[in-house]
Amino acid sequence: MDVHEKRFKPTFGGHEKFVFRDAWLKKGVDAASQNPAIFTDDEALVILGVGKNMVRSIRHWCLATEVLGDAATDRKARGLQPTAFGTCLLGDMGWDPYLEDPGTLWLLHWQLATNMARGLIWHLVFSAFYEPEFNKKQMATFVSKRLDQMGVATTQGTIDREIDCCVRTYVSAMRGVSTLAGDESFDCPLVDLGLLRFLPDDNIYRFSVGPKPTLATPVFGFALLAFLAQVAQTRRTVAIDECIYHEGSPGQIFKLDENSVVEHLEALADLTKGRLRFQETAGLRQIYLDELAADELQSIGIALLRRYYSHD
């Protein structure tokens, strides 16, 4: 999505100040597959087993992680239905409907941090902020400046609430992060990724940059190929450094160091049977896309995930 388009209007606050919980995405996918209008249905509270605000929050998180999308129905219905990704991942016969595989959490983090419409603050925090640590005031200043540059109008209060929710997505409420409402201390599954640490003595948050043992190469590959699909529209080579440091890159979003990215790339050359390869020439390390089009890159990414979850 081009953030410079005049019509770009990200959604803020749809989470209702809740982080998502273990069963929420699966509940949302199951309910929408039965009734595309479930989130506006009076029965939603009973079917989803949560209060009204949480119904809206489940809807938001399902859209933010792109497991649900607009239903291809009559415009007046404005329903939602599982996306192809949502069905593959969380359907009854899906790859990992109960989020038992660590790779699934990395996938959901990637989906969220690359969703410019519903996860813009997550994108800015993980992808565009290059300092190793921050406090909430520093992050709010940074986010406010970036939103101004994008032409996105909002309030300081909204920015503060979004940053609050963002850090609570990754840091346990039991480790010194105050919750915004009484019983909202249930941690998000993404806490298990260990991407962000809270240091209470200094009142700062620190990114955990370096190798990620639970990030499998096929999952990294899916993310990399999605990133490369954007580039493939205009050129056929990509510098390795772009995949590590560029805004929106898997290196940034997964907080990987250079060696970790190179190791994944070497493994991907084998996994893709050489379709994705990189070379070092005269000190310049580049990925060569050859004749691969954007849709082919995305297809290879999906194939990597299918193989990963089938444990072949």
| 140-183: pLDDT as tens digits | 999 999 999 999 999 999 999 999 999 999 999 864 444 444 44
Angle CA 208–210–214, to nearest 5: 85
Please check the confidence at residue 262 and state whether its pLDDT lies above 80: yes
Distance CA 257, CA 272 (A): 22
Interhelix angle 136-150/156-170, rounded to 10 degrees, is 120
Give the bridge partners for 68, in sequence order: 82
Domain 217-310 belongs in CATH node 1.10.10.1420: yes
User: Which tokens hold the place of 132?
Assistant: 């190793």
81-85, 173-177, 235-239, 275-279: which has the highest mean pLDDT?
81-85
Which amino acid appears at position 101 of this protein?
Answer: D
**DSSP per residue over 272-286, as a string?**
TTTSSEEEEETTEEE
Domain ranges of the chain: 1-8+101-208, 23-98, 217-310
Which residue has 């590590």 as its token pair? 244
Which residue has 């019509």 as its token pair? 7
pLDDT at 233: 80
CA gyration radius, the chain: 19
Distance CA 72, CA 28 (A): 17
Domains 23-98 and 217-310 share a fold: yes
What's the CATH code, domain 23-98? Answer: 1.10.10
pTM greater than the 0.85 cutoff: yes
In the DSSP assignment, the letter for residue 236 is: S
Distance CA 221, CA 225 (A): 6
Which residue has 């699934």 as its token pair? 104
Which residue has 């249905």 as its token pair? 41
Query: What is the phi/psi pair of residue 280, to 5°?
Result: -115, 120
26 vs 173: which has the higher pLDDT: 26
Contact present, 79 and 73 (Cβ < 8 Å): yes
Residue 77 burial (CB count, 10 A): 12
Distance CA 110, CA 230 (A): 15
pLDDT at 275: 86
